[in-house]
A and B are shown apart, each in its own frame.
Chain A
Amino acid sequence: MSIWEYANPVKFMRVSGAALPWIAAAAAICLPAGLVWGWMTPEDYKQGSTVKIMFLHVPAAMMAINIWVMMLAASLIWLIRRHHVSALAARAAAPIGAVMTLVALVTGAVWGQPMWGTWWEWDPRLTSFLILFLFYLGYMALWGAIENPDSAADLTGVLCLVGSVFALLSRYAVNFWNQGLHQGASLSIAPGERMSAVYKYPLYLCMLGFFLLFLTLLLVRTRTEIRRRRTAALLAREVRA
């Protein structure tokens, strides 16, 4: 039993179809629970009630980066092993990642206005997120522009590889360019606690909720893509007959 068996569309459809309601239900429980729990946390002594934006901002930012990494992995699997499900999953993930990036940027702006006194600052973290958003846009535009699905998958795969290198490069280049206003990582594995448990556990729940939400949307979108591909194949067969 190898993981590559799930690359078979039929098997993927069966397994994902069975798992989808459970994942969706878990997301539907975790996300509202985490957000409500976050809403009820006490106000921060310095940030006041704006600290609660964190429960949207941090998970969205985390997912924005991780979705790109997932697309990179899926593109590599497509380029190396030519599993169609993988390419379709990368395609399905891109708009979700773009929306997550946008959520992180907008919630950051809403938080930054009262806290930093500005909606936008050319800070390394903010700038590299904007660049990441541009990469998402370019990736989706390339998918949309090419008609042949296999060529589109190949070309977007190559773009994803090159784009990953340059997104990472930009991340460190902007560090060089401007000193940051953004605080360091909110969570850290290192000892030396930064965040009170009052905020930490609801944040973990929100992260789990965002991840499950992404998984749900990804599976729904990938299944739709597979079905659309099948319909197109059936129609093409009918035209030929």
Chain B
Amino acid sequence: MIALLMRDLRLATRAGGGFGLGLAFFLIVCTLVPFGVGPQGGTLALIAPGILWVGALLACLLSLDRIFALDWEDGSLDLLATAPLPLEGAVLVKAAAHWITTGLPLVAAAPVFGILLHLPGAAQPWLVAALALGTPALSMLGAFGAALTVGLRRGGLLMSLLVLPLYVPTLIFGAEAVRRGAAGGDGTTPLVLLAGITMAVLAAIPFAAAGALRVNLR
């Protein structure tokens, strides 16, 4: 599993792997929003939690098709499926690699983008905590969507239609925690619910994703 993780990380970080693209996309979203709604700090602070979360969702979505598509094309997915490691484990590792290359940089950079959007300082810890707890679920659900559409030639648009509705609960609780933090309140309740969703997703979705992959490899 560790070997697989290291391999995926190396593939992602070398040239053409798209590492950091998600982060750049996130930056562009945060730059464009003030052009759309105007530069008033009050308005921006109000919508910052939502913008940051939606931006994270979209940045995560962009790189999803890389999870399985390249391995599907060169046949290494078949090797993974016949390897002694259960396919469920392989799915989990690939989702983890996706999270380390897209989710983790977002979590680390989120406070900077929060400042760009005038997010109140009190909300910063909540933002980091909510993103850290929520983005693993995004990667895992994304791996499920990628597994469903891996055999299709142009699955990208379809995958966003499949995956984004699944992101709704995560988005609701994640943004709610940050909003409560921005209002000076206590965001523990949505944060706990968010962690619950992430745990359930990590426990159950690998089976669904591996099932979908097996159908696609048939």
Query: Taking beta carbons and an 8 Å cutoff, which residues of A are in contact with B?
Result: 131, 134-135, 137-138, 141-142, 145-146, 151, 154-155, 158-159, 161-163, 166-167, 169-170, 173-174, 176-177
Contact = CB atoms under 8 A, between A and B. Distances in A.
B166 interface: yes
A176 B165 contact: no
9 contacts: A131-B168, A134-B164, A138-B162, A142-B149, A145-B155, A145-B158, A158-B212, A158-B215, A159-B148
Contacts of B151: 146, 151
B158 A166 contact: no
Given A131-B165, A161-B208, A173-B173, 17 more contacts: A134-B164, A138-B161, A138-B162, A142-B148, A145-B149, A146-B152, A154-B211, A155-B216, A158-B148, A158-B211, A158-B212, A162-B205, A166-B165, A166-B169, A167-B165, A170-B168, A174-B172
Contacts of A161: 208
A81 B161 CA distance: 29
Contact of B144 (A145, A162, A173): A162
Interface residues of B, number: 27
A145 B193 CA distance: 34
Interface in B179-218: 190, 193, 197, 205, 208, 211-212, 215-216, 218
Contacts of A137: 161
A169 B197 contact: yes
Interface string B97-129: 000000000000000000000000000000000
B65 interface: no
Main secondary structure of the interface of B (DSSP, over half): helix
Main secondary structure of the interface of A (DSSP, over half): helix
Contacts of A169: 169, 197
B8 interface: no
- Please give me the 7 A-B residue pairs with the lowest Cβ-Cβ distance, nearest first: A173-B169, A154-B215, A134-B165, A173-B172, A138-B162, A170-B168, A169-B169
A135 B165 CA distance: 7
Interface in B139-167: 144, 148-149, 151-152, 155, 158, 161-162, 164-166
A159 B165 contact: no
B169 A170 contact: yes
A162 B161 contact: no
Contacts of B149: 142, 145
Nearest to B157: A141
Best-surrounded residue of B144, B172, B208 (most CB of chain A within 10 A): B172
Nearest to B175: A177
Nearest to A153: B215
A43 B211 CA distance: 54
Given A159-B162, A166-B165, A176 B176 contact: yes
Best-surrounded residue of A131, A154, A173 (most CB of chain B within 10 A): A173
A155 B148 contact: yes
A12 to B, nearest CB: 25
A159 B211 CA distance: 11
A151 B215 contact: yes
B148 A176 contact: no
A166 B148 contact: no
Nearest to B173: A173
A162 B166 contact: yes
Contacts of A141: 158, 161-162
Contacts of B193: 173, 176
Nearest to A139: B162
